[in-house]
Structure 1
Amino acid sequence: MYHIVKIEDWKIARESGWYEPESIKKDGFIHCSDAGQVAGIVWCIINLCFSNGNGLHCQHPRTGFF
């Protein structure tokens, strides 16, 4: 499972030791994708949610690596 995060938000999470995306408050869960979905949806997410896609980071919740 993967979770796409703004790099700025991920840096703050790493420094603080805690990450809580807005979706927790809004939707009650963290939006994630499996490896097969990431490539197919990343451009949709970039275009819909992040104006030009700069500053994104795809995070694996368990390992911390993509």
Structure 2
Amino acid sequence: MTEARAPYRPQTLPDLVKPAFGVVAGAALAALVVACRRQRVHEGGALRVATRLHTERFPSAR
């Protein structure tokens, strides 16, 4: 015999949606952290390049 399924109740929809929103929010947070870190690394590299070019142009300013 097959098992009878419980009838659908409107209260079960929020119980199903909550974990899905949690997963999506977690993925969005991870993507935000990665993007912020990538930008900080990129800006740090650009500052090093600008400093190096400045010291190469003006060697007497050291």
- Per the normalisation by structure 2, the TM-score is 0.22
Greater strand percent: which structure?
1
- Per the normalisation by structure 1, the TM-score is 0.21
Structure with larger RCO (C-alpha < 8 A, sep 6+): 1
Q: Larger Rg: 1 or 2?
A: 2
